Structure 1
Amino acid sequence: MISGHHLNCIPRWFRVLVRLAPVLAIVMMAFAAKADDVLIQTWPDTFILNDPSSDGFSDMRFIFARSSAVGCKTNCPEWISAEGAITAGTPALLKRVLKKLGTRKLPIIVNSPGGDVDAALQLGRIIRKNGLDIAIGKTEFSDCWPGTKGCGVSFGKGVAYFGVASDGGAMCNSACPLMFAGGLRRVAGGWAYLGVHQITTTWFPYTRHFRTTYKTIRGKRYKVTTETITDGQSYKTYKMGKRFARKISAYLTEMGVGQGVLDKMKATPASDIQRISLHDMLTMKLATSTDTVELFTGVILCMGDKPAQNCREISEDTRPAAVTTKPAPAQQAEVPSSQPVKATPVEPFQGAAGNAAPVMRFVVVRGSDPLCDPDCPEWISAEGAITPRTPQKLRQLLAALDNPRLPIVISSRGGDLFSALAAGRLVHERELDVVVARTNILGCNPPGAGCLDDNGAYVGLISQFGVECDSACALVLAGGSRRLVDPKARLSVSSMGQKQIVKAYLEEMAINPALFAAIELSSVERQLESDTMLKVGLTTGPDTSGTLTGPSICRSSPKPDNCRLPPSASAQAKTPPKF
């Protein structure tokens, strides 16, 4: 009982009777189910954990893309580029995009770290309802990047952006495989990465307090109830509940995908990510074939008598001559022969693309040391930053070579992690040797005028000075059959995130686990000494670049694969491929 208090308008003898009812506390639990992703930026109000290894993905956006690949002119394949994290608003965006397409059916090329599980299920159903194909891949835009000022405004006839699609460095993780399952044809071959893990459920408890009081005024009894809500401490659970498991199981059955996907999700902790191999995807019916993204974006689709349904013919003049973009780093450009230019002095030696190059460039080089004339070694010079286009460029070069077993001489300050893994796997698959060194092209910097000798080849020498191989570059080196580092080259490693992915890659390359431990020891670049590289298995021996590119190797028996006599003087010079 609470004692009353006097009221001015009520006699003193009249007391307010107050009875306090017991406090009734009802605890309500509200939850939001989201996939805990490996590569996600902070998204307000979505309650998805912000992983410290985030790769800076923004929310998913859908962009109409048209192929700008070599050989594609007026009739080219088109697709929908879907890149970024899946949020609650993503399904509505896709619906608007498909509405603009009308009756056209374009394949979806997806690259996503995952995101909202419920939204991913909605996306899968939208894709299936519209009968669309899907592939894991990244779209690299050739003229300008979407969102750049003036980009995509006047490309004409519904095509805003031109580019190429590749699977190097592409991913579909966490909730993304649920979206992927909705495709009519589902392609994840090549270097695409598809991974799953447990669902993370975040609980937000709150307490509702009801306080009921009674008071009597002038003989009438009144009931007064007040409600107070107190937020509790949120917490997460990392085990999929039975109800949610049934929901995903029903969805997979609806899409014709096996329950093995759900089993993989349950078996993988939310803090980890498990890659599903292409073989397992086929067994689970998650993938419908071993094809790559080229199945939907290759130029050959539009060359036959019956072009694919995503091919469209437009006139060549619909593409603008120039687009306003941010200035790119200056590169040496080829000058048309009809344009007069000032003669420039030729220096004895000048570095090739080098570490200063904005993107990695591959050039086939023939040794120019007089000691090897005429039978000289050849190699692939790989210099510059590793980008998402790097694996595709290397694959194209190897396909164009008469001798695809040339060693790779690499110098790079690193770059994109997933692209480095894809390039390393390609090197490993082709059983190529890799050496960390630098190529100096004789008298010029390809592809400038005057670079080619009489036989139509780039000629040069190996240099040990100014050579670096940092972070992602070391992972490319790890894919080599023979792995060498010149004594004066600087090789350094650092933690780049994606621990489980990097660890699995090094195991795949049969590298000593000690290298992974060395990588994870430091968050900044840490130089490895020669004996350390040999001890952890990054290098296969103490040999130098001369073992693969020296002037005397072509006189040994058996002769190495990269030795070749130059063509006769009467033969027509053929320019070596460069990418």
Structure 2
Amino acid sequence: MKLVRLRFRGCAVLIVAALCLAVPGAFAMLGGLAHAGGTLEERKLPMQFSWVACQPHCGGWISAVGIVTAESPKDFDDFAQGRDLRGATIVLDSSGGSVNDSITLGRRFRNLGLLTTVGTSIRSRTAQGDRVAIDPEAYCESMCVFLLLSGKSRYVPDAAHVRVHQIWMGDRADDARAATYSAEDLMIVERDIGRLAKYTFDMGGGGDLLALSLNVPPWEELHELSREELRLTNLATTDAVAEVLPSSIGGSALQGVAMAAKPLQDRFTSSAVTDAATPATKSTRTAEVLAPAKSVAAAPAQ
């Protein structure tokens, strides 16, 4: 059997400018962005997980940057080995990726009781020493939105961009209208929509999130969720940053760090699904375009 996979693209990332200083609870404007130049390229690569230590009086967080691939669940398991991540916060900066692998990864996050937010982890050098922060001017697109949904508590900063799109056959998303499709292809898409729907409800999301996503075909612009839609879909469960970030960060007024808007990434075709809940088969993803579209929640199904 030919192995292809459905993929979602178009999730907006939230970034919280949370500064960890040598003095507990203190905050200041960053003097520079140590990782600003590399962030765009990192988002084009397979998802990488890292622990961002926040010294000396806060616990830190997990940084997850890049595209979800067939290897991402195992990469996360390797990262988690030997670490007690229960109840930790994961900061997402992703353009999406494989539908089934994102579902698998999201269930890993929920099993650990992770908290989720969107952002870019940055580090700067100051006279007081190194400082780490989370910049809220970031993107969480497509299947990243469903990773965001996996958090037991979910915070989306005002500066973040959360964007949704349809799933599609991974090998035909680049020119979806010109491609041909078989009855088997239709079966695969409908099956993976069913899997995504079950996951959405298991995570505490609602049908409005599926409606907003599945009404945007790959030849249209990604739809950016408004603050009202973030609440309607239950993607944002709190307006208090202190509920998802280390207490010495979240308890203080946060400072925003301006960054240039990040362009959308190239599309990727995923490989076979290996998780027991999502057996190997063809797969789906989404395509993306250059700018967010107007709300399509009320549009008829395509």
Q: With structure 1 as the length reference, what TM-score do the two structures score?
A: 0.35
Task: Indicate yes or no: 2:73 matched with 1:98.
Answer: no
Offset at residue 38 of structure 1 (A): 8.9
Residue in 2 that maps onto 1:195: 163
- Distance (whole Å) between structure 2 residues aligned to residue 162 and residue 122 of structure 1: 33
AA of the residue aligned to 1:250: K
In the alignment of these two chains, the number of paired residues is 227
Task: Indicate yes or no: 2:46 matched with 1:59.
Answer: yes
Offset at residue 299 of structure 1 (A): 2.9
AA of the residue aligned to 1:200: W
Q: For residues 348-381 of structure 1, what are the alpha-carbon distances to aligned partners after superposition, in whole Å with 9 as ceiling and x for unaligned?
A: xxxxxxxxxxxxxxxxxxxxxxxxxxxxxxxxxx
Note closer, same or farther for the CA distance 1:197–1:300 as it changes in structure 2 (3 Å cut).
closer
**Residue 217 of structure 2 aligns to a residue in which SS?**
coil
Task: Indicate yes or no: 2:237 matched with 1:268.
Answer: no
- Distance (whole Å) between structure 1 residues aligned to residue 145 and residue 82 of structure 2: 25
Note closer, same or farther for the CA distance 1:245–1:134 as it changes in structure 2 (3 Å cut).
same
Task: Indicate yes or no: 2:265 matched with 1:499.
Answer: no
Residue in 2 that maps onto 1:256: 204
Unaligned runs of 5+ in 1: 1-27, 40-54, 68-72, 144-160, 205-233, 304-390, 395-414, 420-496, 505-579
AA of the residue aligned to 2:134: A
Match of 1:122 among 104, 110, 117: 104
- Distance (whole Å) between structure 2 residues aligned to residue 109 and residue 236 of structure 1: 38
Match of 2:233 among 284, 288, 293: 284
Q: How does 1:150-169 map to 2 (within 5 A)?
A: 163-168=132-137
Query: What is the percent sequence identity of the aligned residues?
Result: 22
Match of 1:176 among 144, 147, 157: 144
**Residue 142 of structure 1 aligns to a residue in which SS?**
strand
Match of 2:8 among 12, 19, 35: 35
Matched-pair contact (CA < 8 Å) for 1:202–1:236: no
**Residue 291 of structure 2 aligns to a residue in which SS?**
helix
Matched-pair contact (CA < 8 Å) for 2:11–2:163: no
**Residue 6 of structure 2 aligns to a residue in which SS?**
strand
Offset at residue 294 of structure 1 (A): 8.2
Q: For residues 6-65 of structure 1, what are the alpha-carbon distances to aligned partners after superposition, in whole Å with 9 as ceiling and x for unaligned?
A: xxxxxxxxxxxxxxxxxxxxxx765422225699xxxxxxxxxxxxxxx53222111111
Note closer, same or farther for the CA distance 1:301–1:186 as it changes in structure 2 (3 Å cut).
closer
AA of the residue aligned to 1:180: L
Q: For residues 111-151 of structure 1, what are the alpha-carbon distances to aligned partners after superposition, in whole Å with 9 as ceiling and x for unaligned?
A: 111111111101110010011101011101235xxxxxxxx
Offset at residue 242 of structure 1 (A): 2.4
Q: For residues 248-284 of structure 1, what are the alpha-carbon distances to aligned partners after superposition, in whole Å with 9 as ceiling and x for unaligned?
A: 1111111111011111111112232111122212122
- Distance (whole Å) between structure 2 residues aligned to residue 416 and residue 293 of structure 1: 26
Q: For residues 425-476 of structure 1, what are the alpha-carbon distances to aligned partners after superposition, in whole Å with 9 as ceiling and x for unaligned?
A: xxxxxxxxxxxxxxxxxxxxxxxxxxxxxxxxxxxxxxxxxxxxxxxxxxxx
RMSD: 3.5
**Residue 70 of structure 2 aligns to a residue in which SS?**
coil
Note closer, same or farther for the CA distance 1:172–1:246 as it changes in structure 2 (3 Å cut).
same
Q: Which structure is richer in relative contact order (CA contacts within 8 A, separation 6 or more)?
A: 2
AA of the residue aligned to 1:126: R
